[in-house]
Chains A and B, each alone.
Chain A
Amino acid sequence: MRMLNLQRYLKRLQCKRISAYFLPGDVMLLAIGVLGVFYLFQLLWSTEHATKVQIRLADKIYATYSLKLQREVHVPGKLGDTVINIANGKARFAQSPCQGQYCVHQAWLSLAGQAAICLPNQVSLELLGENKPYDSLNY
């Protein structure tokens, strides 16, 4: 007797697919919900941490490195070697042959879109990430 009940119950489960529980309004709300969540991700996760650093020397891209691996890069500029440190998702000018040392004072960069420039030695750093918060920097 009990077996029979269980069998009937299982049969009932089978004949009703999950989609049968959705009313048109439910589908619409679900769609709005999915779009809303996408929008929230786009809106609030845009200042993503950078993944790579691009080093430029004069008009050329000198090198692009991952920020994950620790390394020290020597860039031969027109005044001499600029030393760049990369470590733990950050990058910075460590040493520069220029007078002002403004580039060294910029300290560590870690967010996508951040940049530091050494004008005298024509070396620049730019951090690249999945989502750049802006196309260009006004300074």
Chain B
Amino acid sequence: MKYSYYPGCTLKTKAKALDAYARASAKALGFELEEIKDWQCCGGVYPLGADEIATKLSSVRALADARDHGQELVTLCSACHHVIKRVNDDMKNVDDIRTRANNYMQLDTPYAGETNVLHFLEVLRDRVGFDELKKKVVNPLSGKKIGAYYGCLLLRPSEIMTFDDPENPKILEDFIRAIGAEPVVYPYRNECCGGYISLKEKEMAGRMTDTIQASASGFGAEMLITACPLCQYNLNQTVDGLPVLYFTELLAEALGVKEEAMA
């Protein structure tokens, strides 16, 4: 199975590991991530201005490219996934944005939201299947108590993201079980890490991440996993906090391709 793949800027710089482990794991699981040619930055945040169009165009380019290849589009970074999935929804459902974006882009075939956008975790759940993943685990992470950290971008707005229950998600817990470890459920796993506020108000971001860290360790977690480079950065600012890893790192480890990935 071949998917179009949109890595995003951070995965080429700060979060190379998130990307490398995902690619190696995909190979081990029997699917291929074909990086989109000439992709551009997603913009990092979904523009909330109703008439904003320019910052949505890079998403439309990626989406149209996947459509032209007849492939589903896979993302990995939470922020990229959020932006691209919402722009896709706009292209499908908001006449004004679709018309203006297409007028600007002048594509051979106008784009109208035809591409299906999947987060890497959704590929694991809905295409590979966690039962199937479990069978391919060669190095189960038995005994590890892992707290899943979702953040907000994958879950909300839930009617567009359709990722999981925004108040009580379970996809990461199911993932943790599939790789042989024990999930630790704690109430702040879907609370905001502070996002970009850490650039401006370090203290406030610190309070937010401290709450998450304390709750997770209070319930017995030994580490946190996430899909988001910014969440990982913020959560790692807590002094003496739990280590925060990308979920793909544990996946690669469980599949026995961790070293190969970093080679």
Binding partners A and B: no
A residues near B, CB below 8 A? none
